[in-house]
Chains A and B, each alone.
Chain A
């Protein structure tokens, strides 16, 4: 009996899982005004700021990350200003903490932990190893487009300009990454944070998946000296405000790393460019957080201090491979209308000639003959009774 289909048996189908990584380099110029801030989107609610890779009104623009800033209700900053802006700052922190850190046994939202042991420390206490909390932080929420399934452990790096910055980073004024003069002013040093050693020492006690601690490149990675947290599956970096100066109620204070010597060392927080309606602000991080400065203004200042972000993302590719085995006596004829000339097979002169066909397409069918998937060859593949083939057709999910 002539037939056009061949049934796949259980031995012809197998499943595989492949992990793919992409390198994601983000330069500070994207977040600090390459497009005259037309790629920076603010919202009327003022809770966060979005960064795009192109002016966001363009259909070509891709969402890169969001920037948000807040402090805990347990922070020493809480209650220092009051009003709507303070509520927003606390609300952002609380929302992120309840999603990323979860709740303690009493149902209270846990503050971000700097050592991963989740030991609760009294409000306002700092520094003691095993109990430190990060209560004043800013968040970088990466778009799923970049983070994909997760950030690859040990690949995350964030470089921040932590000192004085008289003009917008990445703006027309010249900038020297090694901390030299910028328009006559003094540019603060660059602090590079990374999840060093996270490939072997990450934490699994978050409801949002695995996370690693962000350490300064100049520090030995050990609990208590972290500057932030990167949540791998959530693709969110939480960075302690201690990188900007001396926040109240959090941060590792023992070292002499850049940005940890108090608010005065941080210098004025100032931006030269800003999205329409946001306006510029100046002052130390703490002074901004305890004033009427809006989150958009503070986010604006922080994004201008991002020098570089880089990480590798991860995609889990699940594939089904169908081994389409073509035996020597199969698929040697064709139903192609050009195969026949007045019913005579064109590729044969006599009955003793071998039939020949050419494969260009593999179709995968359901039992009711519906075409569900198609694979194409790059060039026609000759098939005759002298050849046997196995075509591996991979379907990715």
Chain B
């Protein structure tokens, strides 16, 4: 009779992230591990073959052969997709977060990037009738960057008829963006305060439906003009303002960006523009669903 496998616990060696090292170096007690999360960044669930001819033992044979990368030490480059704890096992659909370009601010039609005009001169030159954010006058913006949460399939009912389960409703979002380039503002154009800024100048904003109501639009069955066909959760709406560095100087543009000549409907100027391409990451704090929004900061040459 063979022995039973008694290898027991799985022992893993952890490495500190750059933020972890920074907090450890501060020595102010901010390095305090209090919780954990599990990630599956490398996994492609499309490889899960429920129709494998050899039976259920082979459904995930390709997934289990996935090679796993060593740890990145950049805290924003790893654990992009987390595993989710939901006590129920009978869920067949999970909500997603979708960029709403029909009711919200549309992306540039040419390059599919949401555009921020960093100063008045640029806005005056390239005013496109509301198809870009004018950073100098955020409080006059009427169309916002909008993300809708919900189930994109109406297989379990139309969103105007069926509610999203309460335990899947996003009540808090985390927005991460490069603090050197810009800041987050609510629908009134009021600048939000980052919860923290990490060692790579990534600012994290925690937005809650209860304490940051001006970042949220109509939700649930009241959500109109949505890209969510099934049950709907919350709607996040915000604006992006440019930093003083971008508005007053071309330094960061020449260091990190590029120039465009005779671009598109927004930046169709023969004199050309400076631009910086970046992304803003929106994560649902409840479901962990994550969306990256490409952003282009534009400055007139």
Contacts and interface: CB of A to CB of B under 8 A. Distances in A.
Contact of A359 (B34, B38, B50, B84): B38
A365 B2 CA distance: 41
A391 B12 contact: yes
B53 interface: no
B84 A335 contact: yes
A138 B152 CA distance: 79
A383 B287 CA distance: 18
A15 interface: no
Contact of A366 (B10, B31, B59, B90): B31
B86 A333 contact: yes
B12 A376 contact: yes
B84 A374 contact: no
Contacts of B44: 338
B55 to A, nearest CB: 14
Nearest to A12: B36
A372 B198 CA distance: 11
A5 interface: yes
Given A335-B81, A351-B92, A357-B40, A374 B14 contact: yes
Given A347-B48, A364-B14, A373-B15, A333 B39 contact: no
B286 interface: yes
A335 B15 contact: no
B101 interface: no
Contact of B10 (A2, A330, A336, A391): A391
A335 B43 contact: no
Nearest to B196: A368
Given A366-B31, A375-B71, A4 B83 contact: yes
A331 B152 contact: no
Interface residues of B, number: 81
Contacts of B290: 335, 337
Given A347-B45, A361-B71, A376-B69, A366 B37 contact: no
Interface residues of A, number: 77
B223 interface: no
B37 A374 contact: no
B34 A367 contact: yes
A344 interface: yes
B11 interface: yes
B70 interface: yes
A374 B15 contact: yes
A332 to B, nearest CB: 7
A360 B12 CA distance: 11
Contacts of A335: 81-84, 284, 287-290
A369 B75 contact: no
A362 to B, nearest CB: 6
Contacts of A348: 92
Contacts of A372: 16-17, 19-20, 23, 31, 33, 75
Interface string B135-167: 000000000000000011101000000000001
A376 B12 CA distance: 7
A318 interface: no
A269 to B, nearest CB: 49
Please classify the interface of chain A as helix (H, G, I), strand (E, B), loop, or mixed, using the class held by over half of its residues. Answer: strand
B41 interface: yes
B85 to A, nearest CB: 4
Given A362-B14, A393-B12, A4 B84 contact: yes
B94 A363 contact: no
A379 B13 contact: no
Contacts of B91: 333, 345, 351, 355
Contacts of B289: 335
Interface in A301-356: 320, 322-324, 326, 329-352, 354-356
Given A4-B84, A7-B34, A340-B94, A349 B73 contact: no
A377 B67 CA distance: 10
Contacts of A364: 14, 33, 35-36
Nearest to A379: B68
A346 B39 CA distance: 17
Contact of B12 (A8, A362, A367): A362
B68 A380 contact: yes
A105 interface: no
B66 interface: yes
A7 B73 CA distance: 22
A345 B83 contact: no
A163 B76 CA distance: 64
Interface string B240-259: 00000000000000000000
B96 to A, nearest CB: 6
A368 B75 CA distance: 13
A360 to B, nearest CB: 5
B36 A331 contact: no
21 contacts: A1-B286, A2-B287, A2-B288, A5-B36, A6-B36, A329-B89, A331-B83, A333-B94, A348-B92, A350-B92, A357-B83, A363-B78, A363-B79, A363-B82, A369-B174, A371-B76, A372-B19, A373-B17, A385-B89, A390-B9, A393-B14
Q: Give me the 8 closest cross-chain CB pairs, A-B, nearest first.
A: A335-B288, A372-B20, A361-B39, A375-B12, A333-B84, A4-B288, A336-B81, A331-B83
Interface of B: 9-17, 19-20, 23, 30-46, 48, 50, 59-60, 63-64, 66-73, 75-76, 78-79, 81-87, 89-96, 151-153, 155, 167-168, 174, 195-196, 198, 204, 230, 284-290
Given A360-B39, A360-B43, A374-B17, 20 more contacts: A1-B167, A2-B84, A3-B85, A4-B288, A333-B84, A335-B284, A342-B152, A345-B93, A346-B48, A348-B92, A358-B63, A362-B39, A368-B196, A371-B78, A372-B23, A376-B69, A377-B68, A379-B67, A380-B68, A395-B14
